[in-house]
A and B are shown apart, each in its own frame.
Chain A
């Protein structure tokens, strides 16, 4: 017998069994196939109609079931917002929190990108920028980012000027003087007191930082400072003898304080000022992690500033490290300008330039003894080259030139 036929007969037999027919009655109509008959006998044995449940058990189960259903619907109504939040698994909670934080940071970042000084989101914008700067490890990348941020500050000042808002601003750029004698930084006119232009002449062409108040016709300058750059990386020298730190071209003058000899491959930390768009002039250079102790044959702070103090102060007042640093900054400012003007390649020549000689006559000490402290110096209490020291007009490089 074919399997298909057997299945049909078997199904027919099951229908009869389910209907309550006796085994003999079911087998009566079946063909004489031993396997089929045995299968029907098995089905007959298997057929055991379900017993009735105990009514008490059923009632008890129903009560428990209804009670649980009521509790569930009641609980459902009680579930509040925070219950739902806390009901979520920890991993999902973390994902949601991260997403919300990221989204809010992105939105705030986008909104604050267009904010100007004095606006509520401006501090957030600056914080994000500081974080970006702090997270940038590569020295070259950091400098590039600083350049971008400087450009952003300049753009903000221009927008403030256009919107005629008087707001405290800080920005950086190259100091320049046009043919009409107007001083400007990155094209932004600087409004200064009468003596400042004289002092500016020394910083002409330097990369400086301006702090002041924006006005419609420019920025009223409160202070001008040389912008410091902090470089960190491996010292290298190319075939032309050009030194660099992590690919950033540097120059070293005899005013530079070198706490480590210039050896290729050494990891160094350096403080520098910007010489031009490509190069940086080193002020202080030390090996990374080493103590700043001047080794033999290396210029130290005293040596580099001796010529200043001996000639002008009369006595060596080695009292204030900050003062010396200021002095050094002044000398390097002069060196910067001189390098740009004369394009000297030999650092030794720097000391011989008239600018350096002129510099000696304009130390802060000299102005203090003359009792000619500027109002800025009193206000700020600091001795920045531009705000606290007013050089004699006749002693400026401009005058010499």
Chain B
């Protein structure tokens, strides 16, 4: 009989989670240290405003604390739960932003950096365009592309985080890229 094997990171995560549930402050701090950069990167991939990225990332960890003792909806996969929560919060942010559009141009990543070259500004604008094109995709498509191209997760890792099969992830990713390709084609980017 084949035994299911878990990646080392998942085992470590599981141990950290157990310790965190027993109020082990060291484990709680380690979770923050390990995942803050990843969550930050994930959120920044989809939101340009750095301040909002920081707020959302901090919110993800606060929600994690709230969920830690919830026995009804226990966290089984730490990385998956954190990334999933980040995805929801980003979606919530855009939903709110759609209702109350932000007009603070200074918060724009490219604009507020001093000494930006012409090339840098163009790259930033292009990134913004890219992010706005991403927003036209479904939440799941956005999530899969963020995991694969920002977090550089493998197909298997992505499948574990999203709790789907590898085949489903392949298809989901393919449809997302196809959708973007058509949009990019219209813009002449490809």
Interface residues of A (CB under 8 A from B): 7, 10-11, 14, 18, 35, 38-39, 41-43, 45-54, 57-58, 61-62, 64-66, 68-70, 72-73, 76
- The stretch among B34-42, B70-78, B87-95 that forms the contact with chain A is B34-42
CA distance A48 to B149 in the complex (A): 6
Question: Are A69 and B181 neighbours in the complex by a CB distance under 8 Å?
Answer: no
**A7 surroundings in chain B (CB, below 8 A):** 170, 174
Name the B residues within 8 Å of A49 (CB-CB).
Answer: 41, 150, 152
Docked Cα-Cα span, A47 to B57, in Å, equals 21
Contact A43 B149 (CB under 8 A): yes
* B29 and A42 contact, CB distance less than 8 A: no
Given A38-B185, A64-B58, answer yes or no on A46-B36 (Cβ-Cβ < 8 Å): no
Residues of B within 8 A of A18 (CB): 148, 152
Which residues from chain A contact B44 at a C-beta distance below 8 Å? Answer: 50-51
In the assembled complex, B130 has its CB within 8 A of some CB on chain A: yes
Q: Which residues of B have CB within 8 Å of A58?
A: 36-37, 40
A50–B148 Cα distance when bound, in Å, is: 11
Q: Are A42 and B184 in contact (CB under 8 A)?
A: yes
Q: Is B32 an interface residue when CB atoms closer than 8 A count as contact?
A: yes
State in angstroms the CA–CA spacing of A14 and B185 once bound together.
19
Bound complex: CA A10 to CA B176 (Å) = 13
Digitize B110-151: 1 where CB-to-A-CB distance is under 8 Å, 0 elsewhere. 000000000000000001001000000000000001001111
Q: Is B177 an interface residue (CB 8 A)?
A: yes
In the complex with contacts A53-B36, A61-B57, A66-B28, A48-B184 CB distance below 8 A? no
Instruction: Name the B residues within 8 Å of A70 (CB-CB).
Output: 25
Q: Are A42 and B180 in contact (CB-based, < 8 A)?
A: yes
Flag whether B8 is at the interface (Cβ < 8 A).
no
Is B181 touching A65 in the complex (CB atoms < 8 A)?
no
Residue of B41, B58, B69 touching A65 (CB-CB under 8 A) = B58
Is A72 within 8 A of B65, CB to CB? Answer: yes
Q: Given the complex of chains A and B, what is the CA–CA distance between A47 and B33 in angstroms?
A: 24
Contact residues of A: prevailing secondary structure = helix
> Which of A47, A53, A66, A73 has a CB less than 8 Å from the CB of B149?
A47
A-side contacts of B145, CB under 8 Å: 46
Closest Cβ neighbor of B57 among chain A residues? A61
In B15-47, which residues have CB < 8 Å from any A CB?
23, 25, 28-29, 32-33, 36-38, 40-42, 44-45
Among A35, A53, A54, max chain B CB count under 10 A is at A53
The smallest C-beta distance from A80 to any residue of chain B, in angstroms, reads 17
Please state if A10 and B177 are interface contacts (CB–CB under 8 Å): yes
CB distance A65 to B65 under 8 Å?
A: yes
Q: 13 interchain pairs (CB within 8 A)? A: A10-B177, A18-B148, A38-B184, A39-B174, A42-B180, A48-B127, A49-B150, A53-B54, A61-B58, A66-B25, A72-B69, A73-B23, A76-B23
Which residue of chain A has its CB nearest to the CB of B54? A57
| A-binding residues in B (CB < 8 A) | 23, 25, 28-29, 32-33, 36-38, 40-42, 44-45, 50, 54, 57-58, 61-62, 65, 69, 127, 130, 145, 148-152, 155, 170, 174, 177-178, 180-181, 184-185, 189-190
Bound form: Cα–Cα A61–B59 in Å? 9
Q: Is the CB of B149 within 8 A of A46?
A: yes
Chain A's closest residue to B61 (CB) is A65
CA distance A35 to B184 in the complex (A): 12
A282–chain B nearest beta-carbon distance, Å: 67
Q: Are B150 and A69 in contact (CB under 8 A)?
A: no
Cα-based distance from A47 to B134 in the complex (angstroms): 13
A48-B127, A61-B61, A65-B62 known; A43+B177 contact, CB < 8 A: yes
Q: Is the CB of A52 within 8 A of B180?
A: no
- The answer for the CA separation of A45 and B150 in the assembled complex, in Å, is 11
* Complex contacts, B155 vs chain A, CB 8 Å: 11
Q: How far is the CA of A11 from the CA of B177 in the complex (A)?
A: 12
A38 touches B36 (CB 8 A): no
Given A61-B58, A62-B29, A69-B65, the answer on whether A51 and B41 have CB atoms closer than 8 Å is yes
Residues A52 and B37 in contact, CB atoms below 8 Å apart: yes
Bound-state CA distance A45–B181 (Å) is 11
A64: chain B residues within 8 A (beta carbon): 58, 62
Write out the residue numbers on chain A whose beta carbons fall within 8 Å of the beta carbon of B174.
Answer: 7, 10, 39
Q: How far in angstroms is the closest Cβ of chain B from A365?
A: 82
Rounded to whole Å, the gap between the CB of A57 and the closest CB of chain B is 5
Partner of B189, one of A45, A48, A50, A61: A45
From B33, B41, B148, B181, contact of A42 by CB (8 A)? B181
Residue contact B54 to A61, C-beta cutoff 8 Å: yes
Report A-chain residues with C-beta under 8 Å of the C-beta of B58. 61, 64-65
A62 touches B36 (CB 8 A): yes
Q: Which of A46, A48, A51 contacts B180 (CB 8 A)?
A: A46
Pairwise interchain contact B150-A50, C-beta atoms closer than 8 A: yes
Report B-chain residues with C-beta under 8 Å of the C-beta of A35. Answer: 181
A73 to B38, CA, bound (A): 26
CB of A50 within 8 A of CB of B177, answer: no
The listed residue with most B CB atoms (<10 A of its CB), out of A18, A52, A65, is: A65
Q: In whole angstroms, how far apart are the Cα atoms of A118 and B65 in the complex? A: 60
Q: Is the CB–CB distance between B177 and A42 below 8 Å?
A: yes
